Amino acid sequence: MSNSKSKLPGRLGDPNLTLATDPRLDPVLAAFYAQDDSLDFDDAPIDTNSSYEEVVAYIAEIEKGLDPFYEALYGSLPPVEGIERRTEVIQGNDGNEILLFIHEPSDRKTALPGIVHTHGGGMVLMSAADLVYARWRDELAAMGMCVVGVEFRNGAGKLGNHPFPAGLNDCASAVRWTHQQLQALDITNLIVSGESGGGNLCIATALKANQEGWIDEIDGVYSCCPYISGTYHPAPPELTSLYENEDYLLGGELSQVMLKAYDPKDEHADNPLAFPYQASQEDLIGLPPHTISVNELDPLRDEGLIYARKLRAAGVRAVSRTVNATPHGGDTDLLPLVPDIYHSTIRDIHGFASAL
């Protein structure tokens, strides 16, 4: 009799698998990860006993390595032609200044869908100015969109240490400003979109708008690989992907520890504005259409799929999609390696926004 366990996917079937050796992974990505483990953080020198200060220091070290990683990956790509780029500085609701990056086609002749982009980084690191996100905005603009990237305050990293709700407040301020500028920006409708930590923030921005009574300013939400559970170690049994894809770029313990920079005193574990997976049906009623896009080999996959299920149960129009053969962020961060997969998601975001 065959061993039924061996038929299970990922590390459920073979605990010795790694991301690079999992047969589901795209072959180009498998070769890449077999040679480059720059984004593999499963041996992090911090754990659940680490102090806030130790976590913040580790995040700073991670960030130092990301710029050269993305420079090596993206630096030789030809620029996206025909894009006009400019910046705006707006006043946030907390009295702080927020830098916005605006990208749009330079030859536009008509009104376009608008998108406020909330970048990835677990809500605690990276910057909207980083090469990988500047390119993402360019590619979205090239599809025919007006894109507003938000330089929100992270929980840690090079922009300073600003725990929840600072970053969320900045994203909300940027959405409200963009909505006020619909005519000036010549935007037909407005969606909020981001990946990973930005996938959390775009969802949470809609929840905040719903809670505060300005949800009609948002026409849709497109969230990629959202980091929304807030509970990773020990992993909840319903989040099977945390076991199936454990340590595929992300591990449950590290995912939990990184949240210490976002919620230092663990005061907001049940707050859906911090961790939208915790939202009740009442919180979700009245939200605009959503697309929740996840990656097959991502430990965070199932929290996104379950959130989409919750949206539908609350009467929200919600589509979920799984980008097969990719790890966390594999369709948003790795353009030079898997351009077809990357551009498939770009096209889907554009199609979603255009159809609203």
Tens-digit pLDDT profile for residues 145-183: 999 999 999 999 999 999 999 999 999 999 999 999 999
In a domain, 232, yes or no: yes
Give the mean pLDDT of 85-100. Answer: 97
Give the mean pLDDT of 121-147. Answer: 98
Which whole-number Å values give the CA distances from 140 to 105, 119, 296, 344, in the listed order?
A: 10, 13, 23, 11
In a domain, 178, yes or no: yes
Residue 187's pLDDT band, with cuts at 50, 70 and 90, is very high
For residues 145 and 83, give the distance between their C-alpha atoms in angstroms, rounded to a whole number. Answer: 10
In a domain, 316, yes or no: yes
For residues 21 and 3, give the distance between their C-alpha atoms in angstroms, rounded to a whole number. Answer: 20
Position 43 scores a pLDDT of: 64
Give the mean pLDDT of 64-75. Answer: 93
Q: Is the pLDDT of residue 42 over 80?
A: no
- Collapsing DSSP states into helix, strand and coil, what is residue 25? coil
Q: Who has greater pLDDT, 44 or 280?
A: 280
Residue 44's pLDDT band, with cuts at 50, 70 and 90, is confident
Q: What's the length of the chain?
A: 356
Which whole-number Å values give the CA distances from 331 to 102, 292, 334, 335, in the listed order?
A: 22, 13, 6, 7
Residue 131's pLDDT band, with cuts at 50, 70 and 90, is very high
In a domain, 247, yes or no: yes
Q: Which residue has the tokens 């220091």?
A: 57
Q: Is the pLDDT of residue 24 over 60?
A: yes
> Which of 189, 199, 178, 172 shows the shortest CA–CA distance to 275?
199
> Which of 112, 187, 189 shows the shortest CA–CA distance to 144?
112
Position 5 scores a pLDDT of: 62
Position 45 scores a pLDDT of: 85
Task: Count the Cβ atoms, other than its own, within 10 Å of residue 135.
Answer: 19
Q: Is the pLDDT of residue 232 over 70?
A: yes
Residue 38's pLDDT band, with cuts at 50, 70 and 90, is low
In a domain, 110, yes or no: yes
Q: What is the CATH number of the domain that holds 120?
A: 3.40.50.1820
Q: Is the pLDDT of residue 90 over 60?
A: yes
In a domain, 290, yes or no: yes
Q: Is the pLDDT of residue 1 over 50?
A: no
Give the mean pLDDT of 106-115. Answer: 96
In a domain, 15, yes or no: no
What integer best gives the mean pLDDT of the chain?
Answer: 95
330 is in which domain, residue-wise?
31-355
In a domain, 24, yes or no: no
- Identify the DSSP state of 315: T
How remote is the C-alpha of 345 from its chain's centroid?
13
For residues 31 and 315, give the distance between their C-alpha atoms in angstroms, rounded to a whole number. Answer: 43
Residue 7's pLDDT band, with cuts at 50, 70 and 90, is confident
Q: How many domains does the chain divide into?
A: 1
Cis geometry, peptide bond prior to residue 234 (ω within 30 degrees of 0)? yes
Q: Is the pLDDT of residue 37 over 70?
A: no
User: Do the bridges between strand 97-105 and strand 112-118 make them parallel or antiparallel, or are there none, so unpaired?
Assistant: unpaired
Which whole-number Å values give the CA distances from 339 to 84, 108, 232, 283, 332, in the listed order?
A: 23, 25, 31, 37, 10
Note the pLDDT tens digit of each residue in 290-340.
999 999 999 999 999 999 999 999 999 999 999 999 999 999 999 999 999
Rounded to a whole number of angstroms, the distance between the first and last alpha carbons of the chain is 52
Position 217 scores a pLDDT of: 98
Position 206 scores a pLDDT of: 99
